[in-house]
Chain A
Amino acid sequence: MSTFYFVAFLSIFFSILVITAKNPVHSILYLILTFATFTIHYILMNAQFVAIVNFIVYMGAILVLFLYTLMLINLNKDSEPQKSRFVKIIGFIAGGCFLVAVVAALKAYKTSQLVILNDPNLGLVKNLGKILFNEYLLPFEVSSILLLSAMVGAVLLATKDPKTT
């Protein structure tokens, strides 16, 4: 139980560091740590498939993509222009309003049951694979088309236009 609170503290701490770090490379590295703590959360809930996919896809693929883009455009220096203090305060207030609304709703709804895993093989790969390929076969195939079109779009956008250069 205390493991959850420790990991939750770590994920909040690292996610604050993500948005406050001056250097974008440090920001990405803190984001990797944040996602590592999320993986620990998934393991604590025995959602093994989601934990592995989070580990491989997010920490392995997406954040490496971020790092490569940052290297490609060579911006690893602390030269980001800052927003004015007024805009920052407004941003904090706007983000805090959402948090206050959710916390107030939680206070109003006092009772809270425990998250208890009744079926121990709920999040295992075998169980989720059966559900994915029986009930959600069509969305699965549609998502493959989505990934293909995203790949084509990314290649099309990122290649240099021969007419303009």
Chain B
Amino acid sequence: MKTVNDAIQAIPLNQYILLCSIIFSIGVIGVLIRRNAIVIFMSVELMLNSVNLLLTAFSVYHGDATGQVFVFFIMALAAAEVAVGLAIIVMIYRNTNSIDINVLNRLKW
């Protein structure tokens, strides 16, 4: 078990930061280029998850379990956010018969 862990985990910290920032920027691009509200919501989830992965990597790197407790709180927050957000999307769909976000640009005024 110990040797397996040693064989797997000899990864530089930079690689984790690179992976997480790539996935985070994919999430940012997804928010910017899509018009479907649910897909935008999923891109936000992608960003949250990349931050979770980076927090866990730093937690393992420093040998401090606080980071993983924080990941747990972020997941609780994400669950609450998804519940409220999807309820809002359902309500918008009921009122406008579409989840295209360009319909909502009346919110500007």
Chain A positions within 8 Å of B, measured between CB atoms, are 1, 3-5, 8, 11-12, 15-16, 18-19, 24, 27-28, 31, 34-35, 38, 41-42, 44-47, 49-50, 53-54, 57-58, 61-62, 65-66, 69-70, 72-73, 75, 80-83, 87-88, 90-92, 94-96, 98-99, 102-103, 106, 112-120, 122-123, 127-128, 131-132, 135-136, 139, 143, 146-147, 149-151, 153-158, 160
How many residue pairs, one in A and one in B, have C-beta atoms under 8 Å apart? 253
Q: How far is the CB of B42 from chain A (nearest CB, A)?
A: 5
Q: Report the 10 A-B pairs with minimum CB-CB distance, sorted nearest first.
A: A91-B32, A150-B80, A19-B30, A95-B29, A157-B87, A112-B14, A112-B12, A154-B87, A158-B87, A102-B21
Inter-subunit contact B82/A82 (CB<8 Å): no
Q: How far, in angstroms, from A62 to B86 measured CA to CA in the complex?
A: 10
Which of A8, A27, A92, A114 sits near B13, CB closer than 8 Å? A114
Q: Count residues on chain B whose CB falls below 8 Å from chain A CBs.
A: 76
Inter-subunit contact B43/A69 (CB<8 Å): no
- B47-86 vs A, CB cutoff 8 Å, 1 = contact: the mask equals 0010011001101110101101101110111111111101
Q: How far is the CB of B59 from chain A (nearest CB, A)?
A: 7
Q: How far is the CB of B44 from chain A (nearest CB, A)?
A: 11
Inter-subunit contact B19/A18 (CB<8 Å): no
Q: How far is the CB of A35 from chain B (nearest CB, A)?
A: 7
Q: How far, in angstroms, from A30 to B38 measured CA to CA in the complex?
A: 14
Inter-subunit contact A120/B2 (CB<8 Å): yes
Inter-subunit contact B46/A75 (CB<8 Å): no
- Scoring A88, A103, A158 by chain B CB atoms within 10 A of each residue's CB, the highest score goes to A158
Inter-subunit contact A54/B52 (CB<8 Å): yes
Q: Which of B81-109 contact A (CB under 8 A)?
A: 81-84, 86-91, 93-94, 99-100, 102
